[in-house]
Amino acid sequence: MDLFHDFIYLPIHNLLVFFVDIIPGGDLGLAVIGATFFVKLILLPLSLEAAKTQKSMKALEPDLKALKEKYKDKKEEQARAMLALYKERGVKPFASILMIFVQIPIVFGIYFVTLGAATTVLDPSLLYSFIPLPETLNPLFLGVFSVTSMSITLAVVAGVTQLIQAWYVIPVPDKKEHGTASMQEEFARALALQARFMLPLLIALFALTSGAIALYFAASNLFMVAQEFLVRTIHKTPTLSKQVV
């Protein structure tokens, strides 16, 4: 039994067909957007918790840096002190990593379902008994843009929305004076800058696969921007820092 196919791919595929069924005119593009938003909403509690953990970790950076300096020659004591600090402030440092691993197969499922939407959406063998075949299937998003073939316009939209997401969601650490930043800090800054400038280009290239893929990326990017806005509104960055003695 293929676990990914049976428990990830098929449910998402049937969700896509469900949206094709209920959307007037069977607009496949709107169905892709609807299915993407629906799955993202299901994952929202996990995403919010992961984002909250990341912000808490960010607020702890001064204390963690002080602990590393204090116990720089005593690695075991350093590790115990850091774990004690996490416990004291109620921060679960591995929670966000676990939630990311939970979401990865689902995100891949959305991608592969979208990738195969043009050829498999009307395959009866992939449908659950309670999901009927769509009476109509319109491969033109809003009656204009092709979903089943390459669309340069939609690919550009995907790239632009990724650019918006990168600039809004991905923080770039402040540049420090030469010689004062650690190798880890310099790497983190370089990685963030690459994500801001290179990722939109890569996403636009991937989106050239088909209009459906472009809509998936665009919908996902806009959802992530809305999610970050929600996180910033609800979960203000906590002031956790205290002097480590």
Which residues are 146's β-sheet partners? 140
pLDDT at 23 over 90: yes
> Would you state the structure tokens that stand for residue 223, as one six-digit string?
């959802």
Indicate the average pLDDT of the chain: 79
Q: How far is CA 50 from CA 46, 102, 193, in A?
A: 6, 11, 22
pLDDT at 192 over 80: no
Helix (H) or strand (E) holding 45: helix 28-70
Which residues are 27's β-sheet partners? 138
Task: Report the SS3 class of residue 141.
Answer: strand
In tens, the pLDDT along 153-165 reads 999 999 999 999 8
In tens, the pLDDT along 61-76 reads 777 778 777 777 677 7
pLDDT of residue 244: 41
In tens, the pLDDT along 196-243 reads 778 888 899 989 988 989 999 999 999 989 988 887 787 664 444 444
**CA pair distance 78, 92, nearest whole angstrom:** 17
Say which residue the tokens 């049937």 belong to. Answer: 14
Say which residue the tokens 């607020």 belong to. Answer: 59
> Would you state the structure tokens that stand for residue 55, as one six-digit string?
């912000």
**Which amino acid belongs to residue 235?**
H
Which residues are 145's β-sheet partners? 141
Q: Distance between the two ends of the chain, CA-based, in angstroms?
A: 56
**Which amino acid belongs to residue 3?**
L
